[in-house]
Homo-oligomer: A and B are copies of this chain.
Amino acid sequence: MQSPILEYLRRVHADLARLEEGAPYSAGRTDALAAPDDTDAAGDFGIALATVDGYVYEVGATAKEFSLHSISKPLSYGLALTDHGFDAVDAKVDVEPSGEAFHELSFGGAGGRPANAMINAGALAVASLLKGSGGRSAIRRIEEHYSLFAGRPLGSNGRVFRTELANSDRNHGLAYLLSSAGVIDGDPTRALETYLRQCAIQVTCRDLAMMAATLANGGTNPVTGAEALGLDAVERVLSVMMTSGMYDDAGDWVASVGMPAKSGVGGGIIAVLPGQAGLAVYSPPLDRHGNSVRGVATCRRISRDMEMHFVRSARAGQSAIRSSGTIDREPSTTRRTEEAAAALAEHGHRAAVVRLTGDLFFAGTESVVRELSGLPREVEWIIVDVRDVDEISRLATMMLAELRRGLAEQGRALVLVDPDGRLDPAFADGEVPRFATRDRAVAHCEDLLLERYGAAGARPDSVPVVASPALALLGDTDTRRIAALMERHSFADGDVVRRVGQRFGGVFFILSGAVGITAVDADGTRVRLSTLTAGMTFGDLALGDDDRQETTAKAEGRVEVMVLRADAIEDLERDDPALAVQLWRALARDAYFRMDLDARSEAARMRR
């Protein structure tokens, strides 16, 4: 089904497409970098969100190419740090926010260094450090480096470069000043050209999202698995983007968006949520700082709605899904008739159990709704177990509500294991059944399955003792002769039929109603072992090591049973050993059959 995340991004795109302020970058508007890539692009607007596992959500103009411009600054900074080491680069460029416009003639940081690598002075100094190697020119190495981030080959556009060069007097002057100050070694013009060529590298909005996700993923491209940058350099690059990425807006950006980011006058902008996702926006009209108007608005909006601010999202785990399987693999402890067991084995794949852990902030929620949205159409019931979830964000509630609606439209349903009502009632609004334990939720879905896939009589209200599976291996005559030795008893709701410690009282055959079997475990808490219904037997566990009843059997609602009392069995063994053999053999085989089922579900579990 449609991803709730994508639906959300569509709404944001539609809302912010209405923003008409700003003017696309064009020659002469600013003396920084001049000449537009594409003056018709004003209307273009794309949003792409890439997760650290490489999944990309995209809306609008995400495939159109444009120039990186200043978004190249952090990428080249990372390359310089890798080539020369931190000390050598720090000797040329500081890491302090300048609070100045990107084109400021500023390199008045400590020791006459440019304040940071995000302003032109710092970017030119960094560009002067980038050298070719193995016969490749500097720009080829830069293209290859950027390509690792994008996961596809990127190239610099010669026409754009030449236009920029023809309009670069201010930066040319800056390059010479940096040279005179000893910040640039070698030919200032070469440094300028390298810088302008990296600015002219062509990318799409989707490329930018993947580049941002690569930074979010510690420098490894989540799709190709290639390492574009080491974690130490990533840490440094994102730190500088955090304080100096958005020009003189830095403080406000950290406060209101809270993601390291970088924009370019081409209309692109990237924002990085470390460990979780990369966001990219493309929209040419720029504000007075040279930032994309819609780009800034989109980042603010998505950061708020999706709680992607570094402070809020700090606790989000990478994935909140701990286990996921269908109920044929993890049946409830409710014992079923052979027929029902067969029906559940056939249709059990139609109900899935997803156990969530950790925190449902952005990353956890995104991965959860993606997996839930992606469950095969044949899965008609989705049991979501939130008992182990630590924190549930607004986003999680919003997305799960969307998911429930989407499933409902397809006649599918959510079932919650949420004893404490952790999920906002506004989400569940009475339409989502909640259970205290997974066992109860699975039993509920099993019952619905048996109804929908009408394994007729798989859950009969009453079963005559002669039809009991436990006696199935006896011939009719033998069965009737055994049945004739039984006594009929009834119990009211809550009656204790058998209590722990009682001597073996015989084998109980349930004619109708349900019986809960419980025991007290090692640390003294009462646990439910199983729920037995019409056609099933109990009392047999008392046949364990010391003839003592080791479990308690309590009637749930009115219960009718037939009892083959211990003394009746003894009489039978004495008077008709041949029939007694049949009885014991039948009970043994029934026990072995059940044990085999247990062993298989246990084994299925151990493999996870």
Contact = CB atoms under 8 A, between A and B. Distances in A.
A29 interface: no
A409 interface: no
A275 to B, nearest CB: 3
A236 B251 contact: no
A231 interface: yes
A529 interface: yes
B602 A521 contact: no
Given A244-B251, A311-B234, A314-B275, A591 B595 contact: yes
A605 interface: yes
A603 B521 CA distance: 9
A317 B359 contact: yes
A31 interface: no
B584 A312 contact: no
Interface stretch (A93-101, A285-293, A398-406, A425-433): A93-101
A545 interface: yes
A571 B311 CA distance: 78
A600 B519 CA distance: 8
Which of A333, A363, A543 has the largest number of chain B CB atoms within 10 A?
Answer: A543
A592 B593 contact: no
B329 A528 contact: no
Interface string A571-608: 00100011011001101110111111011111111110
Contacts of A359: 317-318
Contacts of A184: none
A468 to B, nearest CB: 14
A310 interface: yes
A236 B255 contact: yes
A266 interface: no
A318 B315 CA distance: 6
A238 interface: yes
Contact of A333 (B345, B357, B606): B606
A121 interface: no
A95 B254 CA distance: 9
A600 to B, nearest CB: 6
Given A99-B99, A274-B314, A315-B317, A545 B603 contact: no
A19 interface: no
Interface in A87-116: 94-99, 115-116
A506 to B, nearest CB: 13
A544 B596 contact: yes
A228 to B, nearest CB: 15
A254 B276 contact: no
Interface size class, chain A: 35 or more
A46 B275 CA distance: 32
Interface string A250-280: 1110110010000000000000011110000
Interface string A336-347: 001000000100
Contact of A95 (B255, B322, B328, B593): B255
Given A544-B589, A588-B588, A528 B603 contact: yes
A310 to B, nearest CB: 6
Given A251-B243, A541-B592, A591-B595, A317 B606 contact: no
Contact of A591 (B312, B580, B591): B591
A391 B275 CA distance: 11
A37 to B, nearest CB: 31
25 contacts: A95-B251, A95-B254, A97-B99, A97-B251, A240-B251, A240-B255, A242-B243, A242-B254, A310-B310, A313-B314, A318-B358, A437-B607, A438-B606, A527-B604, A527-B606, A541-B595, A543-B588, A543-B589, A573-B581, A573-B585, A577-B580, A584-B585, A587-B588, A594-B595, A595-B595
Interface of A: 94-99, 115-116, 216, 231, 234-236, 238-240, 242-244, 248, 250-252, 254-255, 258, 273-276, 309-315, 317-319, 322, 328-329, 333, 338, 345, 357-359, 363, 388, 390-391, 437-439, 519, 521-522, 525, 527-530, 540-541, 543-545, 550-551, 573, 577-578, 580-581, 584-585, 587-589, 591-596, 598-607
Given A97-B243, A529-B603, 12 more contacts: A95-B252, A240-B255, A242-B254, A310-B310, A313-B314, A318-B391, A322-B388, A437-B606, A519-B603, A522-B604, A573-B581, A577-B578
